[in-house]
């Protein structure tokens, strides 16, 4: 038997088909295939940074599902919590690329294997909570189905019973539900979490307050309601930690050319959590998060740009790194 996981991630892994060139979806003829899903991205990000992650989710008994399991296993993620569902198909996301303006994203996940996640899937890995340090969940899974929502709640219950900290990344998906529906399910999760991630808009929805550009009002509202530290992801402006004392800010790592923004927020969370697992302070954790986000922005696909520890040290300029000449 191997070592217990440090982090348990619960969610829906997807296959993303990314348009081969910048054009309207109606005119795209070729796509590249990528493994995706916020929680899967974070699990891989943690594994590349040297930490043990267990992934809990469902895939279909199809080629896409097998590709997901193989990729996660190949990245060093523990996939013993992944169920292959013979009665459902693996979820699919299709993304176009635009040189100007927002890109269209299509989801084919209604009735997917991931939406079939339930409390029994969490119970099957309950022993793994003993000795784990963090449970990682997002606001996506509770939107998929009632059973998936119940699975997240059961995972949080087991985490609390095992003295495992809870990390919650809002990841609001308005294609899945309305802001009102999201707030109803996500607010209780956020105010019970030890660590909450989100951009200013997402945090405002979950907190039930009017949005502000800096996100501070929403973060403070969540803190007053019971949330632990709140991290405001601010894109090119960096990130802000709202916890005990004054807010802590860290600038973004400059990116010469942004290739693909999808997955950068997940990469940030992986970097931040990895720093905490290493015992680093919040300022260093913000720096690691920003470095991982920058690496993800520089390439296509959700997983390809996630950095190793050496690559992250080079990006953040931490002492002791080699100079690339």
- Catalytic (active-site) positions: 266
Strand, coil or helix: 277 = helix
Q: What is the DSSP string of 36-77?
A: E-HHHHHHHHHHHTT--EEEEEEEESSHHHHHHHHHHHHTT-
Phi-psi region of 244 (alpha: psi -120 to 50; beta: other; left: phi over 0): beta
Helix, strand counts (H, E) of the chain: 11, 13
Output Rg (C-alpha) for the chain, integer angstroms.
18
d(CA 197, CA 76): 25
Burial class (CB in 10 A: 0-12, 13-18, 19+), 9: buried
């Amino acid at each position: 038997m191997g070592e217990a996981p440090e982090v348990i991630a619960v969610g829906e892994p997807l296959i993303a088909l990314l348009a081969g060139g910048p054009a309207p979806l109606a005119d795209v003829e070729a796509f590249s295939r990528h493994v995706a899903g916020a929680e899967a991205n974070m699990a891989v990000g943690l594994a590349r940074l040297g930490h043990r992650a267990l992934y809990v989710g469902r895939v279909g008994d199809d080629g896409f599902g097998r590709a997901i399991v193989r990729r996660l296993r190949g990245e060093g993620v523990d996939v013993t919590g992944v169920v292959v569902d013979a009665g459902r198909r693996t979820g699919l996301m299709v993304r176009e690329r635009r040189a100007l303006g927002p890109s269209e994203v299509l989801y084919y996940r209604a009735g997917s294997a991931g939406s079939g996640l339930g409390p029994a899937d969490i119970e099957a890995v309950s022993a793994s909570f003993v000795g784990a340090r963090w449970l990682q969940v997002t606001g996506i899974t509770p939107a998929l189905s009632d059973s998936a929502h119940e699975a997240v709640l059961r995972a949080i219950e087991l985490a609390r019973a095992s003295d495992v900290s809870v990390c919650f990344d809002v990841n609001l998906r308005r294609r899945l539900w309305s802001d009102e529906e999201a707030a109803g399910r996500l607010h209780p999760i956020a105010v019970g979490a030890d660590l909450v991630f989100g951009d200013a808009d997402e945090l405002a929805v979950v907190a039930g307050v009017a949005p502000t550009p800096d996100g501070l009002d929403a973060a403070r509202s969540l803190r007053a309601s019971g949330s632990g530290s709140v991290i405001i992801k601010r894109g090119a402006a960096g990130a802000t930690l709202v916890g005990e004392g004054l807010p802590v800010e860290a600038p973004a790592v400059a990116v010469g050319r942004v290739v693909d923004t999808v997955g950068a927020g997940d990469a940030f969370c992986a970097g931040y959590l990895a720093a905490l697992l290493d015992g680093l302070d919040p300022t260093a954790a913000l720096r690691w998060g920003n470095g991982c986000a920058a690496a993800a922005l520089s390439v296509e696909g959700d997983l390809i740009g996630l950095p190793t520890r050496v690559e992250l040290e080079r990006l953040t300029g931490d002492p002791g790194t080699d100079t690339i000449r």
